[in-house]
Amino acid sequence: MTTYSLLILPGDGIGPEVMTEVRKVIGWFEANKGLKFDVSEDLVGGAAYDVHGIPLSDATMQKAQEVDAVLLGAVGGPKYDNLDFSVKPERGLLRLRKEMDLFANLRPAQCFDALADFSSLKRDVVAGLDILIVRELTSGVYFGQPRGISEDNTPGNEGGRVGVNTQRYTSGEIRRVARAAFELARKRNNRVCSMEKANVMESGILWREEVQWVHDNEYADVELTHMYADNGAMQLVRNPRQFDVIVTDNLFGDILSDAAAMLTGSLGMLPSASLGAPMANGRPKAMYEPVHGSAPDIAGQGKANPIACILSFAMALRYSYNEGDNAALWKARSRKCSPTACAPAT
Ligand code: IPM
Ligand code: MG
């Protein structure tokens, strides 16, 4: 029988408590479905900073590179807000994404029926919503050089400073995430909408041209449309069900996926998968994490809903462990839970 390796990084805030619930789900699969997991656990974010003085140790990074999948809880909290930028909890997360080269971030936004009335939009706009945002995760303004804060004495700013970040995309980076989006669309409703700001950014022009190239040369069977990201934001709150798969860059994807998540009634219920190139076993290098943050205001009170983290594990079953049937099984069970309480079903 195959043993699947899993590195659990609970992180900060509600991370450890939601992960405790995921461990019960893993135990359930071992006891009832004959799956076998080799689970190890380590530190990330503020929890790693407290012990090592950095938000991700080299040893943990190395482990993450070797396992079939990483499951991360959440990072950050008020205790770490004033740390130097280079050791902030978020840097640990960004290092994992970058060094594992997890370029395709899948953020599904599905509206659970029980939650449709919790959405800030009307039930008839969001009921049955099922969209997938594919966010580029390893490039763009998050990582582009040059970056930094320096002194600046340009006229009108004498004695002042300047903050610089660089939006930068290569053809290769755009094409690989576009391919991921088209592949996923083929398994869904066969439609991709690509979002950028080609009206003001050269990187947006390149984005549009390269996505179109991949479509015309490799995925002509999939319907492709393009939209400026600001219009995309508006369309997401106007009529979100018009979308199937949305592919977009790192920063627009960060923002649009939060908006899409909220359509479903709660950011706290959604999983995500970050996938890279195939490993020797043919499965993609992968990290799974709930879309929600560390929620320090409710941490340690037993109130945190673990569904997003459990569904992230379900995504691991599908994409890393080739256990699609078992992933669907758990997803069906989670859908029956109430929005505020969910115990693993037996
Ligand atoms: C996300 C988060 C992260 C991001 C933060 C925690 C660095 O907002 O995963 O969407 O900006 O990518
Ligand atoms: Mg975000």
- Ligand 1 atom with the shortest distance to the CA of 93: 7
As for ligand 1, residues whose beta carbon falls within 6 Å of it are 90, 93, 254
pLDDT, tens digit, 9 for 90 and up, residues 146-163: 999 999 999 999 999 999
Q: Are both 259 and 274 inside the same structural domain?
A: no
Among 113, 221, 230, 297, the one annotated catalytic: 230
Q: Are both 91 and 19 inside the same structural domain?
A: yes
Q: Are both 165 and 275 inside the same structural domain?
A: no
- Residue at a domain's end among 263, 282, 308: 263
Q: Would you say 199 and 205 are in contact if contact means Cβ atoms under 8 Å apart?
A: no
- Strand positions, DSSP E, the chain: 3-11, 36-41, 69-74, 104-110, 130-136, 144-152, 160-166, 191-196, 223-228, 245-248, 271-278, 284-290
Ligand nearest to the CA of 258: 2
pLDDT, tens digit, 9 for 90 and up, residues 222-235: 999 999 999 999 99
- Whether 253 is in a domain gets the answer yes
Q: Ligand 2 centroid to 255 CA: how many Å?
A: 6
Range of the domain at 8: 1-102+270-346
Can you tell me the distance from the alpha carbon of 161 to that of 261, in angstroms, rounded to the nearest whole number?
A: 36
Which residue's CA is the nearest one to ligand 1's atom 6?
Answer: 90
Closest CA to 169 of 233, 250, 115, 110: 250
- Whether 114 is in a domain gets the answer no
Q: Are both 255 and 136 inside the same structural domain?
A: yes
Among 42, 254, 285, 319, the one annotated catalytic: 254
- Ligand 1 atom with the shortest distance to the CA of 250: 12
Q: Are both 286 and 337 inside the same structural domain?
A: yes
Q: Residue 283, class by beta-carbon neighbours within 10 Å (0-12 exposed, 13-18 middle, 19+ buried)?
A: middle
Ligand nearest to the CA of 259: 2
Q: Are both 280 and 237 inside the same structural domain?
A: no
Q: Are both 302 and 339 inside the same structural domain?
A: yes
DSSP letters of 37-58? EEEEE---THHHHHHHSSSS-H
- The contacts of residue 115 (CB under 8 Å, 6+ apart) are 264, 265, 266, 269, 339
Q: Are both 136 and 46 inside the same structural domain?
A: no
- Whether 115 is in a domain gets the answer no
User: Average pLDDT, whole number, for the chain?
Assistant: 93
Q: Are both 230 and 320 inside the same structural domain?
A: no
Can you tell me the distance from the alpha carbon of 64 to that of 200, in angstroms, rounded to the nearest whole number?
A: 38
Q: What is the CATH number of the domain that holds 168?
A: 3.40.718.10
- Whether 119 is in a domain gets the answer no
Can you tell me the distance from the alpha carbon of 173 to that of 177, in angstroms, rounded to the nearest whole number?
A: 7
Among 42, 169, 197, 321, the one annotated catalytic: 197
- Ligand 1 atom with the shortest distance to the CA of 75: 6
Q: Are both 251 and 286 inside the same structural domain?
A: no
- Residue at a domain's end among 229, 263, 297: 263
- Residue at a domain's end among 232, 248, 263: 263
Beta bridge partners of 246: 133, 193
Which residue's CA is the nearest one to ligand 1's atom 11?
Answer: 254
230 is a catalytic site residue: yes
pLDDT, tens digit, 9 for 90 and up, residues 70-86: 999 999 999 999 999 99
Q: Would you say 83 and 117 are in contact if contact means Cβ atoms under 8 Å apart?
A: no
pLDDT, tens digit, 9 for 90 and up, residues 275-301: 999 998 899 999 999 988 999 999 999
